[in-house]
Amino acid sequence: MRKIFYLLSLVSIICSCREELPVEEEPFYPSLFVKPEIFSPAEGDLYYTGSKMEIKWEMPGSVEKVYIRLLRKTVVKEIISAETENDGEFEWNIDVNIKPSIHYRIEIANHDSHYPVVTSDYFIIKSGLAP
């Protein structure tokens, strides 16, 4: 019984000593709340070797530069850009020697810290010219 009394007293003291900021004074950091996302390529998009792909994304504004990589499943197949501005757009010329697959994804991450990392849904690359 004594242990319970001491435990309840301790919890009461800890809770009563906690200092809270009023709601209007809490800091707001908008760039931290941007969810990293890749808009293009989208799931199931079809591309052909030798064609161009518009890569579009959104990253927090605090990220100045990003790197862009091509993955097949979870394996890096090509570094599309080792360093580019975090402006949300990049045009990539798909190499004619890339192996056709339905398992490609784009990975984009902060160039400096490699965090946050965002990966696209799977898309398709076929060989040959677009019809």
The residue with greater pLDDT, 42 or 130, is 42
> Class of 35-126 per CATH?
mainly beta
The answer to pTM > 0.75 is no
Mean pLDDT of 43-52: 97
Mean pLDDT of 31-37: 74
For residue 39, which of 60, 54, 61 has the smallest C-alpha distance? 54
Distances (CA, A) of 54 to 5, 15, 18, 40, 57: 65, 53, 51, 7, 10
Residue 83: CB atoms within 10 A of its CB come to 12
96, two tokens: 């004619």
The predicted-structure confidence for 49-91, as pLDDT tens digits, reads as follows 999 999 999 998 889 999 999 999 999 999 999 999 999 999 9
Q: Where are the domains of the chain?
A: 35-126
